[in-house]
Amino acid sequence: MDSLLLRSAEELFSRHASSDAVRAIRAGGSPGALWRELQASGFLDALVPETAGGTGLGLAEALPVLMAAGRFAVPLPVGETMLARAVLAEAGQERPEGTILLGEPFDGGARVPASSAAEWVLLSRNAAPLLRRAEEAQRDDRMASPFGDLLRWPGDAGGDGGPEELHAAGAWAELAAMAGAMERILESTVRHAQERVQFGRPVAAFQAVQQQISVMTEDVFAARMAAQLASVPDGPGIAGLNPLRIAAAKLRVGEAAMRVSAIAHAVHGAMGITEEMDLHLLTGRLQAGRMRFGGEAHWGARLGRHFLRAGDAMDPLAFVRAHLGPMEPETTA
C-alpha cells in the first residue's frame, strides 16, 4: 500500500474533515469546502487514465484514499465518484465536478443513502453508463428507510439495471472505507482502554478486555487484507475489479464490522454512544456500509454458487488459491 498517498489523503482529511465538519455535513450542512479540496487534490481522478486527464492509478494504488476516507467517516461518496469518473472517461462522456453516487437499481428506480447530498447518480442503460441529476429525481416515501432512499426519475429516465460491474464496484468502495474505519476504531479503543481507570487500574490491564481487543485486532487486520485482495485487478469489472474477490471481501469485512462495533462499544461503555464521542460516527459508517451494495448474505450466496459451479473436482482450498489468492497459484511439475 502506497504510504505516501495514504499520508497525503490523511493530511487532507485531518485538515478538512474534522469530526465537527463531518457532523455538520451529516446534519445537512454544505460539503462544498471539503469537496473543493478533494477536487484540487486530484484524488477523484485517480482511476481515470492519463490519456483522459487522470492520474492512471490502479486499484491497489487508489485503495489508501478510500481507506483514509473511512478512517475519518467522510460522509461523501469519495470512492463512488472515483469509480464513476473512471467509467465516464472510458465511455468518452463528460465528467461533472460534483459528487456522484453509484445507484443500486431497484423497482424501476435507484437506491441511494438516506438524505444523500450527492449531485449525480450513475446508472446503466443497455450496458452503457447513464448519468442522472439527483435533483431531478423524486423520492419514493413509501420505500424510504434509515439506510436508504429510492429515487425515481420522471418519464422512466432511470437505468435498466445493466451489468453487475457497477454493483460490484460500489461494494469495493464500501468495503475499502469500512476497513479504514475499523483501523481507527481499533486505535481509539486501545487508547481508551489504556486511559480509562477502573478499580484502580486501566481497563486494558484486565484479561477479559485484552482478549476482546485481540479479537478486534484480528478482525481489523483481516478486513485490511480482504480489501487489499479485492483490489487485485484480475477481473472483467471496472478498472479490473473481480466480482468474486469482492464477494469474499465484502462478506469478510461485513462479519468483521459486526464484531468490531460490538467490542468497541463494550470497551468504551456507555460513553461510546454519546454525541461528543467520535466512535458512533465510525460504527454508524460500518453499519451503513454493510447494507449498501449487498450484505453478507448476498455476497456469501454468490460466492457459494460460484464454488458449486466449479464442480467436485475443486476442493475449497484449491478454489481459494485459484480465485482469491494474491497472485497466480503455484504449479508443481
- Residue 249 is placed in which grid cell? 471481501
Least confident of 142-146, 211-215, 240-244: 142-146
The Cα–Cα gap between 94 and 157 comes to 19
pTM for this prediction: 0.92
Least confident of 59-63, 306-310, 327-331: 327-331
Give the rounded percent of residues in the chain with a pLDDT score beyond 70: 93
Give residue 309's pLDDT band: very low, low, confident or very high (50, 70, 90).
confident
Q: How big is the chain by its Cα radius of gyration, in Å?
A: 20
Give the pLDDT confidence of 225-239 residue by residue, as tens digits. 999 999 999 999 899
Give residue 15's pLDDT band: very low, low, confident or very high (50, 70, 90).
very high
Answer yes or no: is pLDDT of 278 > 70. Answer: yes
Write down the pLDDT at residue 333: 44
Give residue 332's pLDDT band: very low, low, confident or very high (50, 70, 90).
very low
> Which has more pLDDT, 93 or 331?
93
Which H, E and C letters describe 78-98, residue by residue? HHHHHHHHHHHHHCCCCCCCC
Mean pLDDT score, 31-43: 94
Buried b (16+ CB within 10 A) or exposed e, 37-62: ebeebebbbbbbeeeeebbebebbbb
- Residue 59 is placed in which grid cell? 486499484
The Cα–Cα gap between 213 and 201 comes to 17
Give the pLDDT confidence of 117-170 residue by residue, as tens digits. 789 999 988 778 999 999 999 888 888 777 788 899 887 655 655 557 899 999
- All domains in the chain, ordered by first residue: 3-152 (1.10.540.10), 165-323 (1.20.140.10)
